[in-house]
Structure 1
Amino acid sequence: MDATLGYISPAPPPIPAGIAARPASSVFLPKEHGSWSLALEPLALGLLVAPSWAGGALAAAVLAGFFARRPLKAAFDPVNGARRVTARETLFMWTALAGAGLFEAGVLGGGPALWPLLLAVPFGGLFVWYDGRNNSRAAAAELAGCAAFAFVPAAVATLAGAGPAVALALATVAAARSLPAILTVRSCLRSAKGEPAGAGLSVWSAGVALLVLVALVTAKLSPAVAAGCGAVLFTRTLWLTGPWRPAWPARRIGQMEAALGLLYVVMISSLWPSL
């Protein structure tokens, strides 16, 4: 009963099950747990090797863009109107933060120093194309996303004053970690389901990554520990894609990969030559 107007207010329309219980963060937090590691590792690598205020601003912009992915899709949801409104508000917030961070990075470090991001654009565009068709878990989409993020530490380095050789070496180190990891985990999980796994491609990619890291060490563009880390990751690929692979659930494999990624970043960045 409304005490002022003296009539019984109509009951509010029922809220569809599951919507009210969802926290606001569910609009922008990625569902794919592995994406956290593969997105944050390059950021951490760049900031640890070449810390700067401009690099920090770029990292904030990249994180905002990372969180804007889900609301971008939900903003055009033709069914759930309440979620669509929330998604658009969230998308506006993250887009504004990304734009502000990118602008600040350009002001602090100089716009030309952001040139590595131009190399990331084609890969990022390919991922967006797949994602817009609800096919973000395709191998090509995941590889394109990782390739795009691999150029972020290069941009962080150039913002701190590093030259092209160092920047591209950092991008290569990041890609040598993430690209074989995608193929390895996919192969392992497919094998567990009895599906065609493509183990040969996983082993080949990990072997090429190891050789590339050895070449960087030989050229004195990366610390020697990078080759050791590459050897560990190559051994991991042989283990997870071979007949002796463990009968682990996807979550446990993801946890192991996150631990290996953290070790990879910490070991290499801690011994990287001063810029």
Structure 2
Amino acid sequence: MFIAFMGGVYFNAFEKGRVALRRFRADSISDYEALNEIYFYPSTPEPEYIYYIGKSKSHENWDVNVKKRENKTYMMIMKANKRMKTILVSNLKNVRIMMIMKANRRIKKILCRLNNNKVIELKRKVDKAQQPNYTNLSQALQTVSHEVSFVPNIPNLNVADQLTIIQRSLSNLTDTVTNLSNTVTNLSNTVTNLSNRIDGLTITIQATDTRNLARIYNSRLPSPDFQLEIVPDMAGNVPQNYPQSITAFREMTGHGVNTLMTFYGLPTTGNVEVRRKRFAKYIGVQLI
């Protein structure tokens, strides 16, 4: 069968059968036309009036269903947009929280390193300085007190001289104690000054990190209508007319831009567009 198929036997038989069928149909049609009279029926006249069956109720139902479907689609789109906006805001908040936590960890490391270095340096200075022997000092005071009790036994000729010597010794001892107290006070003042310097450095680092975090947040806003993060100055103060969004910033007048730039100590030279771009770059906003 395969050889016959490849040789075209079946194809030739198919063609011959189709030709024979066409001839049979042609003969049948010619016999019918010869034996039967062909009659053409007259066409129906056009109607004088045409009546339509109204389907207004069905159309109203269809219109209501279409509106419901369109409202449902619109609500689904609005919900999807709201959900996407919520996700974006959540992601931005998570990024901001992570950056703040990272900055706090960095500040703690810097402060620990500074504190360790300063404490080690202070301990080294204290170790190098010669400290008083409080045991010897206490024994000396006891010895002086004990010896003073024997003053009445001294002959009358030497009482004045002995009292002078004792008073001089007591005066020297008092001066030594005073100097020791002053030394301790100076060390305490040094530690206090060092602590104040570390606190000032901590405040400066925190203010700088807060400003940088605000600029990073403003540079990654997905839409011009999102709320801007306020960039404070080094003292932590914020201006009164800070724009809420990029759109509001673009709508600010030249006077408002000058007020902001004066608050941050920026130059107010150039036209309004130049000043607006300068301030946008300062707060981390990219104007397109």
* TM-score normalized with structure 1 length: 0.26
More RCO (CA 8 Å, sep 6+)? 1
* TM-score normalized with structure 2 length: 0.25
